């Protein structure tokens, strides 16, 4: 059975020449065959391998039970990209995979009976193929695995079923692509025809160079074109990197800084989050648009992407700031360079950003002295991107550890090893704070001024017993405390946050108290699932019409307050396995926007309230495993109901009288298909 059509991937370039290339590849894809086929796409950097792969994905993904496009596969490590692959295909989050072997086993077990489309983009090593697509037998009949790489030998060794070499653009294709970027038309203006031909000579048929040069010359006069092309003729051997550098040099100062931050720290990251962080560094959204328009970056599935050649150029620009002395450079991302600067204490005020993958480094002791001189530090990310589970013993911090924080906009430190942040920590400019898997007991004492903070993530900090006072963070939009298993109470300041949109307290198993809600007007998602000691959901004393999802799965709640009726925008209410739940308030009928109500496994729930008003949007009502004795006749007011699940309702005695009208109502709305859905869901003996 085919699943719903996968989301199409965005693509920054017009697919000039794509139709002819797809036709050339059709014999390799053999879509009519039920065999599992692995196809390799190879060619030099900038030739358009990724663009072709995206186009193929968008054309054929809907024909498969699951699809996954994994960009920049060479840059991701082991179990992380295995989780991404499985999550894409299964449409759900995957629990942590502790090592590559476990990931391989899970891929085999999960995908061996599914027809899937997987695209592994920019593969650089055979090991990447071995733990993502090691054998045809891993996948179900009809699956297609497409691999893009610069290394043809890698494809030969992996014994793919077909090879396609992406050729340089033909003359007419190059002219069309160039014209789209230089003139926003299919062909050049007559006055620029000869000049366009000269410009294309330097691009050598490479789509990336064609786009960049086209953007570079856009809206220039004929005289300016002559001057720019003259520069190219005096260089000698023209390289793509030289052409890219010319375009970079044309950027404004802030646009250059924006580009370098993305190249060093944010390639492949969520565009909304990156935009928020960089905006706080006075890099405006206009700068992001300029980079996109000039093909320096693209947005792919809401992620910021950058061609490998562009990133290499950015890295080289940073290295040239201070050859041989990384402590004098503005940005550090290479684990060896970061390790050397921190252990040798050679950091200076020139450093604005550090991204440190500790899984690729030796054990390290970081002292206050190592960071003391980095007074212009804006971005600090210490993270674990390894092949195995996180090791909190890799980075050691002394108890008296301090670091300059006045300029910090982004602090991400996985496995923070101290019980709190430094007492003198200043987060006035901070926009995002992430201390996942930390040893925090408390974040800070008292109230801190964090007027710009938008995101706080302390998830999986299992020793955290105190929820921070966030009254000094009025702009906070996301607060993630998932898996803080020692947390007992929620600080009252959280319930007053007027800009909070997402509050995640899932799996806080010791949590027994949630304060009265008197704010949270903009809250969209509240997750309390797994809070197994939480017995009472608080009264709602504020307008919460923005709340879309309320997750209470596995809590100890006995009844919902009648004030839940104020949640008029609620779309999903999940109370699965609330084994103490006995009463649903009648005001649940006020939830006019509700589409899904999950009460599965609420074993003490014996009845539904009378449905006093029409609930035309409710589509799914899951009552399986409850102690429901009968359905109210008023259930007929659920005019939009698509799925009713009453499996394992052992106490159900009087279904017949109430269900007859419900069945006829379903059939009248949705015909025989809906009747089949009901028959699959209800025990046949009760029909």
Please state, in angstroms and rounded to a whole number, the distance separating the CA atoms of residues 584 and 575: 11
* Enclosing H/E stretch for 466: none
In our burial notation (b when 16+ CB lie closer than 10 A, e otherwise), range 639-654 reads eebbebbbeebeebee
Residues 145 and 43 in one domain: yes
CA-nearest of 168, 383, 207 to 298 is 207
Query: Quick check: is 120 in a domain?
Result: yes
Residues 179 and 272 in one domain: no
For 81, the domain range is: 18-165
Which pLDDT value is given to residue 673? 35
What pTM was estimated for this model as a whole? 0.78
Total domain count for the chain?
3
Query: Quick check: is 681 in a domain?
Result: no
Residues 158 and 32 in one domain: yes
Please state, in angstroms and rounded to a whole number, the distance separating the CA atoms of residues 262 and 274: 8
Please state, in angstroms and rounded to a whole number, the distance separating the CA atoms of residues 397 and 342: 12
Q: Pairing mode, if any, of strands 549-551 and 525-527?
A: parallel
Query: Quick check: is 61 in a domain?
Result: yes
Last residue within a domain, chosen from 217, 249, 281 = 249
588-594 long-range contacts (CB < 8 A, ≥24 apart) are: 588/560, 588/564, 589/565, 589/613, 589/615, 590/565, 590/566, 591/564, 591/565, 591/567, 591/615, 592/568, 592/617, 593/568, 593/569, 593/617, 594/570, 594/618
First CA to last CA across the chain, in angstroms?
27
Residues 120 and 244 in one domain: no
Residues 46 and 177 in one domain: no
Query: Quick check: is 181 in a domain?
Result: yes
Alpha helices (H) in 294-348, listed in sequence order: 308-319, 335-344
Which pLDDT value is given to residue 624? 94
Which pLDDT value is given to residue 598? 97
Query: Quick check: is 450 in a domain?
Result: no
Last residue within a domain, chosen from 137, 165, 193 = 165
Residues 32 and 133 in one domain: yes
CA-nearest of 482, 488, 544 to 513 is 488
CA within 13 Å, CB half, 387: 9
Residues 106 and 226 in one domain: no
Full 3-state SS string of 572-628: EEECCCCCCCCECCHHHHHCCCCCEEECCCCCCCCCCCCCCCCCCCCCEEECCCCCC
Last residue within a domain, chosen from 117, 135, 165 = 165
Beta bridge mates, 66: 116
The tokens 């409850």 sit on which residue? Answer: 626
Please state, in angstroms and rounded to a whole number, the distance separating the CA atoms of residues 310 and 206: 14
Residues 24 and 161 in one domain: yes
Q: Can you give the CATH number for the domain in which 299 is found?
A: 1.10.10
Residues 110 and 137 in one domain: yes
Q: Can you give the CATH number for the domain in which 34 is found?
A: 3.40.50.300
Q: Pairing mode, if any, of strands 298-300 and 162-165?
A: unpaired
- In the chain (687 residues long), the average pLDDT of successive 10-residue segments reads 50 60 83 94 84 88 92 71 88 75 90 94 89 93 94 91 89 88 85 89 82 86 87 62 80 93 93 91 83 83 84 93 95 95 96 91 88 96 68 78 94 94 93 95 88 96 93 96 95 92 97 88 96 92 87 96 90 96 90 94 92 87 92 84 90 64 43 38 39
The tokens 């629990």 sit on which residue? Answer: 95
Query: Quick check: is 490 in a domain?
Result: no
Query: Quick check: is 130 in a domain?
Result: yes
Please state, in angstroms and rounded to a whole number, the distance separating the CA atoms of residues 474 and 454: 9
What string of DSSP letters covers 129-187?
A: HHHHS--GGGS-TT-EEEEEES-HHHHHHHT-SEEEEPPPPPHHHHHHHHHHHHTSSSS
Query: Quick check: is 578 in a domain?
Result: no
Residues 193 and 69 in one domain: no
Residues 265 and 243 in one domain: no
Query: For residue 668, what are its two tokens?
Result: 């009248």
Please state, in angstroms and rounded to a whole number, the distance separating the CA atoms of residues 658 and 655: 6
Alpha helices (H) in 183-283, listed in sequence order: 193-201, 207-217, 222-233, 240-249, 253-261, 271-280
CA-nearest of 624, 636, 631, 683 to 664 is 636
Residues 215 and 267 in one domain: no
């Amino acid at each position: 059975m085919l699943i719903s059509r996968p989301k199409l991937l965005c693509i920054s370039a017009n697919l000039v020449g794509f139709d002819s290339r797809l036709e050339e590849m059709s014999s390799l894809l053999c879509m009519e065959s039920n065999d599992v086929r692995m196809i390799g796409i190879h060619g030099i950097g900038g030739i358009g391998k990724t663009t072709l792969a995206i186009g193929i994905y968008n054309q054929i993904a809907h024909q498969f039970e699951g699809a996954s496009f994994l960009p920049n596969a060479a840059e991701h490590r082991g179990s992380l990209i295995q989780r991404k692959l499985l999550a894409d295909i299964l449409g759900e989050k995957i629990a942590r995979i502790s090592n590559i072997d476990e990931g391989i086993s899970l891929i085999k077990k999960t995908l061996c009976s599914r027809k899937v489309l997987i695209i592994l983009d920019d593969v650089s090593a055979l090991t990447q193929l071995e733990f993502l697509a090691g054998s045809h037998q891993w996948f179900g009949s009809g699956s297609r695995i497409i691999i893009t790489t610069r290394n043809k030998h890698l494809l030969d060794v992996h014994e793919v079923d077909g090879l396609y070499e992406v050729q340089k653009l033909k003359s007419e294709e190059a002219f069309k692509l160039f014209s789209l970027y230089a003139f926003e038309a299919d062909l050049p203006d007559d006055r620029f025809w000869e000049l366009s031909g000269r410009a294309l000579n330097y691009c050598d048929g490479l789509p990336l160079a064609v786009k960049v040069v086209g953007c570079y010359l856009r809206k220039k006069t004929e005289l300016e074109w002559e001057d720019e092309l003259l520069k190219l003729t005096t260089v000698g051997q023209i390289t793509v990197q030289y052409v890219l550098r010319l375009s970079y040099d044309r950027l404004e100062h802030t646009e250059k800084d924006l580009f370098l931050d993305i190249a060093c720290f944010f390639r492949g990251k969520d565009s909304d989050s990156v935009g928020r962080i960089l905006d706080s560094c006075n890099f405006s959204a206009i700068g992001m648009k300029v980079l996109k328009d000039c093909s320096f970056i693209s947005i792919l599935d809401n992620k910021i992407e950058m061609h490998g050649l562009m990133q290499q150029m950015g890295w080289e620009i940073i290295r040239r700031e201070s050859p041989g002395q990384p402590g004098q450079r503005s940005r550090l991302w290479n684990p060896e360079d970061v390790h050397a600067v921190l252990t040798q204490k050679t950091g200076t005020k020139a450093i604005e950003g550090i991204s440190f993958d500790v899984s690729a480094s030796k054990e390290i002791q970081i002292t206050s002295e190592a960071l003391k001189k980095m007074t212009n530090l804006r971005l600090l990310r210490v993270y674990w991107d390894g092949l195995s589970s996180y090791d909190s013993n890799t980075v050691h911090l002394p108890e008296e550890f301090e670091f300059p924080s006045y300029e910090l906009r982004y602090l991400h430190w996985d496995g923070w090893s101290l019980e709190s942040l430094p007492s003198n920590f200043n987060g006035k400019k901070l926009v995002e704070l992430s201390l996942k898997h930390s040893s925090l007991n408390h974040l800070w004492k008292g109230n801190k001024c964090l007027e710009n903070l938008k995101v706080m993530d302390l998830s999986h900090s299992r020793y955290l017993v105190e929820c921070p006072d966030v009254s000094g963070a009025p702009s906070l939009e996301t607060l993630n405390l998932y898996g803080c298993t020692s947390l007992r109470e929620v600080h009252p300041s959280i319930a007053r946050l007027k800009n909070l949109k997402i509050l995640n307290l899932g799996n806080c198993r010791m949590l027994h108290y949630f304060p009265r809600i008197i704010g949270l007007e903009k809250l969209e998602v509240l997750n309390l699932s797994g809070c197994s000691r939480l017995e009472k959901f608080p009264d709602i004393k504020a307008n919460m019409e923005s709340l879309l999802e309320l997750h209470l799965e596995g809590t100890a709640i006995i009844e919902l307050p009648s004030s839940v009726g104020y949640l008029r925008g609620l779309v999903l209410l999940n109370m699965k396995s609330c084994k103490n739940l006995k009463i649903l308030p009648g005001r649940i009928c006020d939830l006019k926007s509700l589409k899904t109500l999950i009460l599965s496994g609420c074993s003490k729930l014996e009845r539904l309230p009378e449905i006093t008003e029409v609930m035309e949007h409710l589509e799914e009502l899951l009552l399986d495993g409850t102690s429901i004795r009968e359905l109210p006749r008023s259930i007929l007011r659920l005019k939009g109901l698509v799925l009713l699940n009453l499996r394992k309702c052992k106490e159900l005695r009087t279904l017949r009288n109430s269900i007859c009208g419900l069945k006829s109502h379903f059939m009248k709305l949705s015909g025989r298909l809906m009747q089949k859905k009901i028959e699959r869901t209800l025990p046949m003996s009760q029909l």
